[in-house]
Amino acid sequence: MRDNGDPGRLSGKDGGVTEVVTNTAPPLRDEAAAAAAGAARASGVHVRTLTEVAELAAVSRLFESIWQRAPRNPLVTGELLRAMVSAGNYVAGAFDGPELLGACFGFFGEPAKGGLHSHIAGVATPGHGRGIGFALKLHQRAWALEQGVATISWTFDPLVRRNAHFNLTKLAARPERYLPDFYGPMTDGLNGAGDTDRLMVAWDLASPPVRTAAAGRPGRVDVAALRARGAAVALAADPGGAPVTGPADAPVVLVAVPPDVEALRRTDPGQSRAWRVAVREVLGGLLAEGASVTGFDRAGWYVIARESSS
């Protein structure tokens, strides 16, 4: 990525968007700014936009250290960030005193700069567990609303459980598309040598679920209750941790992911590849059929609503 939306490491075409933002802009913007400020206080950081050459170079180094890129192959250069900022795009950093602990970078996209694509967000190891990723995303949301932007998009690896939980539960973003091998080979310490499948998510900044999540009250799903009511388990893990497929013949379908795919890539590359293929076929297939991801259970389950059962 890119914007995993990961609190540890760390996007619309809607004919009604303009009206929503125009009619509710002042209270919504104030609400978003207050939520962003509260998240920053809770995580013990100050989040601000960055423009200076030295600060942008520090962001590049931070991303390089998080993604473990080769020195001659940075994820993004300070020069590119400088150009992006000068063109009106978004770069922000989270500071604990003078120390840069996290950063986020996004740029405008179609239609007519109506959406912001959040390309990279990351938090350094010393900042893990403090909610800095959440603070960065809420700052980005408040900034985007000030620009009149209604939707932020980003991609994340659907196999990474903590990212899915952060994006779909903590932030209430929703997947729009499954993208097989989206970036091609990535030479870093996190993605391994396999295909870089991604989910493209949209964050509807003014929606009730997002407003509630930004206030610290995210929606939850109860997979045990869903299973008791007849949800179909289309993908699960067998006793050895390998993926096993099942029926997807109910209005609500559950799709599992492994507990820690990054560790699995190191310890059992074959099983990691098997999960990639299985999630691509099952989750990707359901989305291609028009199903919608409605949530993610922290225990590792995507919750999917089908338009109709087969």
- pLDDT at position 70: 64
pLDDT at 143 over 80: yes
Q: Is 207 left (phi over 0), alpha (psi -120 to 50) or beta?
A: beta
- pLDDT at position 17: 31
Residues 6+ apart with CB under 8 A from 127: 43, 45, 94, 96, 101, 102
When the candidates are 3.40.50.460, 1.20.140.10, 3.30.479.30, 3.40.630.30, the CATH number that belongs to 17-214 is 3.40.630.30
Q: What is the mean pLDDT of residues 302-308?
A: 87
Lowest mean pLDDT among 15-29, 82-96, 208-222: 15-29
d(C-alpha 38, C-alpha 176), whole Å: 29
64-79 per-position pLDDT tens digit: 999 887 667 788 999 9
pLDDT at 10 over 90: no
224-249 per-position pLDDT tens digit: 999 999 999 999 999 999 999 999 99
Other beta carbons less than 10 A from residue 244's beta carbon:
14
Bridge partners of 199?
A: 156, 178
20-71 per-position pLDDT tens digit: 344 445 699 999 999 999 999 999 999 999 999 999 999 999 999 998 876 6
177-215 per-position pLDDT tens digit: 999 999 987 765 555 567 999 999 999 999 999 999 999
Q: What is the mean pLDDT of residues 145-152?
A: 94
Q: What is the DSSP letter of 177?
A: E
Residue located via tokens 């209604």: 150
- pLDDT at position 28: 96
- Counting Cβ atoms within 10 Å, is residue 193 exposed (0-12), middle (13-18) or buried (19+)? exposed
pLDDT at 4 over 80: no
Nearest Cα to Cα of residue 269 among 179, 193, 190, 199: 193
- Which residue ranges make up each domain of the chain? 17-214, 223-305
